[in-house]
Amino acid sequence: MPQLEIGGTTYEVDEDGFLQELDKWGRGFAQGYAAVEGIEGELTEDHWKLIDYIRDYYAQFGIAPMIRKMCKDTGFDLKRIYALFPSGPAKGACKLAGLSKPTGCV
Amino acid sequence: MKKNIHIDDFTRPGGQVTELDPAELDPLPPPYDKIDKPSIRKLTEEQRKRMDASLDGIVAIGLTPPKTPEEEKAFIDKFLAGIKKLFSADDNWTFLQPLVHTLEYCVKCQICSDACPVYISSGRQDIYRPTMRPELFRRIVSKYIKKEHPFLRKIKDSDIDLNWQTLARLGELAYRCTLCRRCAQVCPLGCDNALISREIRKVFSQQMGIAPKELHEKGSVQQLRVGSSTGMTPAALKNILEFAEEEIEEKTGRKIKIPVDKKGADILLIHNAGEFLAWPENLEAFAIILDAAGVDWTLSTEIAGYDSVNYGVWYDDFQFARVVIRQSQAAKSLGVRKISFGECGHAHKAGIVVADRVLTGDLIIPRESSLPMLEEIVMSGRIKLDPGRNNFPVTLHDPCNMVRLMGIVEPQRRILRKICPQFREMTPHGVENYCCGGGSGFAITQSTNFPDWRSAVSGRMKMKQILEAFQDVPGAEVKKYVCAPCSNCKGQFRDMFEYYGVWEKSGILYGGLVELIVNAMADLKKPFIQWEWH
């Protein structure tokens, strides 16, 4: 299993950098990972709004929210999400939110 | 670059059998003839230590090498025990006959090689010939199962040195075939070389517990545990359906209650659950059409009853049977008259065709494709349709399992000819189609550099076909639509189109069939297809 070191903590991740130990997630993980994902500087309020939304949905339903629902509920369109997270909603935002890689035919 | 591959190249420890050279791949039309990034990522040194990539540098399963000679021996013994079972009627009654036929009758005439999109697109790499896996397999059987005399093996040129490395490469090679079965279609002797790919995968999974995570652990195992390979629970499903109902109302002004667990409904519709999460417009369009046509239908919230996928059809007979039985039980408990499968190709094969080999007694419930039902609705005039609303170039992709395997060729075409004035066929099409490149689980295999391979190699022929179908309107300013009535094919198109920048360069959107039907509905205020969600 590959490992990733962020701010002195070692995390188990999959081959594509998705966190494997979901309970180890903390805000430091997201902030530390931001640079790897091409986001410069501190995460903004909008970044956190999306990350928190994804984590809340995951806590309630056990999966990542549909992208369309994510856009509707946060008020961000897809363009805005890509501006915030250059790798996109699944490979960027969900990864920073500490979710596993999406599975099934999605 | 190493083109003439010998069997010894597979058995030699260390090194790589073939290195793919992007410059030698079958050329694509401009502007796709030049691509500004390495087409296939290389594994890192650290990854190479953990995962075997000694076939072609690509990883689908990525085995870890054994640490001791004893471990290596145990691995080989286990594999051979699995191969032995393939030839026992008690263990493999489902596929024994075509397996033996293929092994005994193939004369290696290579007609199948010219039919194989992976082989041709790769720049005719020997390792991807449809006859290569069967040849390795045949030699293993000759030496270790039939135990043929060394002299006989010598004159038949059927020797092989089995070691861990050979098997690691064979296991990977079984995941370089999309099971599209174009090879089987053209074989003059009726051999099915794609079946050999699946039988190898089956031994690896059933005997050794080795399969891509996406197919097994996160796939069929998860589906049987929580209800869907996407991880979607019944509670999540309900949340998503509420969202879909809201969207339907916003888009069409219609208030539709999507029927769930309706006892005694005429039809249980089973979608690929990927639609719910990635392409909700597909399930919304189904609901709009069935509602407008007055069909008595329902969805189910039972385990596997709301996810038509059955990944076992790609790699494991046991997982296959478990899922088929759960789906039939879901239908039985609702007392529906029949099951209809939504736009998912492999679910058609699994649930409608292969399921016949598993289901017995009262679990045998009529099962059919939704495409003829949609055709009947469109042709009957029950819904008022205006083709002028679909006045953009449309081409049709044929999912291998629906079309080549099952012969469902015309319903989707009769619909498109009626509602899409600029419909044009790809060349070739129908039962002679080419795979999207994502077949047999490839579209969901998202790890390491495998996605690069399926965009650059296995999907290449389809990419070329799509571009050629639109060659009269190549520019991005003309919005175009590839109709792909299959979730797996759509997943492949999404990834492949992103990989090549197809929306930016050519303005091509992919989507299902029902979306085009709803988009043509004459009384809707606004278009249903939203091009901004490319």
DSSP string, B92-115: HTTTHHHHHHHHHH-----HHHHH
Tell me the percentage of chain A whose pLDDT exceeds 70: 100
Give the pLDDT band (50/70/90) at residue A38. Answer: confident
Rounded to whole angstroms, how far apart are CA atoms B214 and B216? 6
Angstroms from B292 CA to nearest CA on chain A = 25
3-state SS of B146-184 is CCCCHHHHHHCCCCCCCCHHHHHHHHHHCCCCCCCCHHH
Say whether residue B501 is in contact with chain A using an 8 A CB cutoff: no
The DSSP line for B13-49 is SSS-S----GGGSPPPPTTTT--SS-SSPPPPHHHHH
Looking at the predicted structure, is the pLDDT value of residue A106 above 90?
A: no
pLDDT at B37: 67
Rounded to whole angstroms, how far apart are CA atoms B275 and B480? 21
Contacts of A105 in chain B (CB under 8 A): 229-230, 272-274, 278, 309, 344, 443-444, 487-488, 491
**Average pLDDT value over all residues in chain B:** 96
Of residues A1, A59, A105, A106, which has the active-site annotation?
A: A105
For B230, nearest residue in chain A (alpha carbons): A104
What letter does residue B258 receive in the DSSP assignment? Answer: P
* Cα–Cα distances in angstroms (integers) from residue B9 to residues B58, B139, B165, B191, B464, in the given order: 17, 14, 10, 25, 32
Contact A105 B274 (CB under 8 A): yes
Q: Provide the β-strand partners of residue B248.
A: none
Active site residue A105: yes
Looking at the predicted structure, is the pLDDT value of residue B252 above 60?
A: yes
Residues B516-520 have a mean pLDDT of 98
For B50, nearest residue in chain A (alpha carbons): A1
Q: Which two tokens stand for residue B33?
A: 């003839």
Rounded to whole angstroms, how far apart are CA atoms B301 and B290? 19
Span between the terminal Cα atoms of chain B, in Å: 37
Contact yes or no for B302/B333 (Cβ under 8 A) = yes
The DSSP line for A21-37 is -GGG--HHHHHHHHHHT
The residues spanned by each domain of chain A are 3-96
Give the pLDDT band (50/70/90) at residue B273. Answer: very high
Say whether residue B43 is in contact with chain A using an 8 A CB cutoff: no
Contact A104 B218 (CB under 8 A): yes
Option in B236, B447, B491 nearest A105 (CB): B491
Q: What is the third-level CATH fold of A3-96?
A: Arc Repressor Mutant, subunit A (1.10.10)
Query: Residue B310: helix, strand or coil by DSSP?
Result: coil
In this structure, of A35-49, A75-89, B25-39, B223-237, the range with the lowest mean pLDDT score is B25-39
Q: Which two tokens stand for residue A106?
A: 């999605």
Of residues B55, B107, B87, the one with CA closest to residue B199: B87
Alpha-carbon torsion B255, B260, B263, B269, what sign? positive
Contact B218 A103 (CB under 8 A): yes
Query: Residue B495: helix, strand or coil by DSSP?
Result: helix
* Cα–Cα distances in angstroms (integers) from residue B467 to residues A26, B3, B422, B472, B485, in the given order: 46, 29, 15, 10, 19
Q: What is the ipTM of this complex?
A: 0.93
Option in B240, B488, B532 nearest A105 (CB): B488
Contact A14 B447 (CB under 8 A): yes
Option in B222, B240, B274 nearest A106 (CB): B274
Q: Which two tokens stand for residue B337?
A: 């008259």
Is pTM beyond 0.90? Reply is yes
How does pLDDT run across B183-218, given as a tens digit for each residue? 999 999 999 999 999 999 999 999 999 999 999 999
Say whether residue A12 is in contact with chain B using an 8 A CB cutoff: no
3-state helix, strand, coil in chain B (%, to 5): 55, 5, 40
